[in-house]
Chain A
Amino acid sequence: MKIVFPAVAFSAAFTLPAYAYLDPGTGSMVLQAIIGAIAVGGAAVSVYWAKFKSLFTSRKK
């Protein structure tokens, strides 16, 4: 598992925003960090992918 998700760095203690009265659980937060990283990464990739594709598509008027 550690090899699969090198992007997730474990550091310091688990801290929570002050407004939370609910314990969100470490497991769920780690998962969302992964999703967040993928989403940010994915957004960047899609921008480049769109640029890349535009090189091969003829411009339409």
Chain B
Amino acid sequence: MEEEEALADPVRLPGSFRDPSGHIYSFENRVLRSVSHGAAGEYEASRQTLNELVTQGMLVDFRELSPEEFGMEQGGNAYVLEHPKLAPWTYPYEWSFSLLQRAALFHLELHLYLLERGLNLSDASAYNVQFQGTEPVFIDHLSVRPYRDGEFWLGHRQFCEQFLNPLLLRAHLDIAHNAWYRGNLEGIATNDLARLLPMRSRFGWKVLSNVVLPAYFQKNTTSDREVSFTTEGRRLPLAGLQSMLRQLHTWIGALRPANTRSTTWANYASTTTYDDDETTRKKEFIATFIQQSGARTVIDLGCNTGDYSKVSLESGAASVTGFDFDQQTLDKAYSRARAENLNFLPLYLDARNPSPDQGWMQSERSGFRQRFTADAVLALAFEHHLAIAHNVPLDQVVEWITATAPAGVIEFVPKADPTVVKMLALREDIFPDYTEEAFAAALARSASITGRMQVTDSGRTLFSYARD
């Protein structure tokens, strides 16, 4: 989303093409949504409830503007809506189990809320949910339309593939959804999950009715079994739809990851190699850095359960986006953020392979670099996972981290540190240039070093930097 140059006309975003009822445009750093004449009636019928949802924080705000103002009256547009720009912008393949679970429950709650007001949702895409801090918000105003008596839930399959199936993958098989979801973009196909689920998971009514039977009856190109079926003359009574949604809500709310044994990282804060004094010094350094830099938004790379994100928030930052690759840690970080009411969103990132530009025309879903930036970045106990464990040259690691924000703190972990010793225990040390001085020199090529403090006896050192 490069809107830096002044644009003459609103530009339609490449990811906005599926629903003919309207599209999203960017115009001089503003977010606009067209509403087609075809969808105008449904929009008008939903408008009052949409406003209620905004008041309750469940829907992103909107303001009606005239299409003429933007030269958008051509092309069948009845209305233009303006929305506030949300940051960060995230995708379900960057969510942890607990974030996806929260989004799923929210989507069901929204759907039930709408049904009580005579409205319905035309789809069930996880991409229509964004997180503001720890709380989900719905972003697609044109998915809301009047309920037609007895209609089927057309979004059921999409709901299963984009919300339920990825959660079941972790709950039944202890496989995190992220890599698969990112590869497929549309979630986990019901047919695929049905083939994977072990026998003992198949025979409950819920798995049977949402996964096994839909997969059995699904008509697909590879199946030799032809299923012809029409919804004509059939009804799904409102009570039937509502009970489907409530049952899913109860079920999803009770799902937990299959493996509850703690990973190394989930216990990191309690088993870390720091003693209390060192932790205190590190926290003070971060607090001073945030105060002095005046950073309002912070990216915390390798956030773990959010100790330093919290320090940042307490030192003047307004919001922190955290990244980690450990699933249990992310789940813990999220429940902590909610419990302590922190404006902190922990997301999944494997920094060796950040989210790419992908989807239709390779621009439907934008990559990590396009979406995540902040006033400051923290990369604490992070650099060696790339430089040592993944063989990335030190200057590239520094370049990548400093590109994330104009200021930041990076911790250098030397070879003498027990963590690096462990990393090199079973392999050849091919890193003759991995030294604190080489790191400092690389950092000085990307930015000015504004502070430097050794925090452990093993030689771990914090560097703060500022780019011009």
The answer to whether A26 touches B229, judged by C-beta atoms less than 8 angstroms apart, is yes
Could you say which residues of chain A place their CB within 8 Å of the CB of B227? 10, 14, 26-27, 30
Min C-beta distance of A32 to chain B, whole Å? 5
Query: In the assembly, what is the distance between CA of A11 and CA of B217, in Å?
Result: 14
Min C-beta distance of A54 to chain B, whole Å? 22
Query: In the assembly, what is the distance between CA of A28 and CA of B210, in Å?
Result: 8
Q: In chain A, residues 1-24, which have Cβ atoms closer than 8 Å to a Cβ of chain B? A: 1, 8, 10-17, 19-24
The answer to whether A24 touches B214, judged by C-beta atoms less than 8 angstroms apart, is no
A-B contacts, CB under 8 A, total: 122
Interface string of A34-46 (1 = CB under 8 A from B): 1110111001000
The answer to whether A30 touches B228, judged by C-beta atoms less than 8 angstroms apart, is no
The yes or no answer to B239 lying at the interface (CB within 8 A) is yes
The yes or no answer to B23 lying at the interface (CB within 8 A) is no
The answer to whether A33 touches B231, judged by C-beta atoms less than 8 angstroms apart, is yes
The answer to whether B152 touches A32, judged by C-beta atoms less than 8 angstroms apart, is yes
Query: In the assembly, what is the distance between CA of A14 and CA of B154, in Å?
Result: 13
Q: How many residues of B contact A (CB 8 A)?
A: 40
By size class, the interface of chain A is 20 to 34
Min C-beta distance of A47 to chain B, whole Å? 14
Query: In the assembly, what is the distance between CA of A21 and CA of B237, in Å?
Result: 22
The answer to whether B152 touches A29, judged by C-beta atoms less than 8 angstroms apart, is yes
Query: In the assembly, what is the distance between CA of A9 and CA of B201, in Å?
Result: 28
Query: In the assembly, what is the distance between CA of A40 and CA of B308, in Å?
Result: 56
The answer to whether A21 touches B19, judged by C-beta atoms less than 8 angstroms apart, is yes
Query: In the assembly, what is the distance between CA of A40 and CA of B123, in Å?
Result: 25
Tell me the interface secondary structure of chain B in the complex: loop
Could you say which residues of chain B place their CB within 8 Å of the CB of A24? 152-158
Choice from A10, A21, A25, A26 contacting B18 with Cβ under 8 Å: A21
Nearest-CB residue, chain B, relative to A5? B213
The answer to whether B237 touches A39, judged by C-beta atoms less than 8 angstroms apart, is yes
Residue from A10, A33, A35, A38 whose CB has the most chain B CB atoms within 10 Å: A35
Known: A39-B240, A39-B243. Contact between A22 and B155, CB under 8 A? yes
Known: A27-B157, A29-B231. Contact between A39 and B239, CB under 8 A? yes
The yes or no answer to B122 lying at the interface (CB within 8 A) is yes
Known: A10-B229, A30-B217, A31-B209. Contact between A40 and B235, CB under 8 A? yes
Could you say which residues of chain A place their CB within 8 Å of the CB of B231? 15-17, 29, 33
Interface string of A42-60 (1 = CB under 8 A from B): 0100000000000000000
The answer to whether B237 touches A33, judged by C-beta atoms less than 8 angstroms apart, is no
The yes or no answer to B244 lying at the interface (CB within 8 A) is yes
Could you say which residues of chain A place their CB within 8 Å of the CB of B239? 39, 43
Query: In the assembly, what is the distance between CA of A21 and CA of B22, in Å?
Result: 12
Interface string of B214-235 (1 = CB under 8 A from A): 1111110000000111111011
Query: In the assembly, what is the distance between CA of A30 and CA of B215, in Å?
Result: 11
The answer to whether B156 touches A36, judged by C-beta atoms less than 8 angstroms apart, is no
The answer to whether B151 touches A25, judged by C-beta atoms less than 8 angstroms apart, is no
Known: A24-B154, A40-B235. Contact between A35 and B240, CB under 8 A? yes
The yes or no answer to B190 lying at the interface (CB within 8 A) is yes
Query: Can you identify 12 A-B contacts, CB atoms within 8 angstroms?
Result: A1-B213, A11-B228, A20-B154, A25-B156, A25-B190, A30-B214, A30-B227, A31-B210, A33-B229, A35-B244, A39-B237, A40-B237
Give the B-binding residues of A (Cβ under 8 A). 1, 8, 10-17, 19-36, 38-40, 43
Sample of 8 further A-B pairs with CB below 8 A, known A27-B227, A40-B235? A8-B229, A17-B231, A25-B157, A30-B214, A31-B209, A31-B214, A38-B240, A39-B237
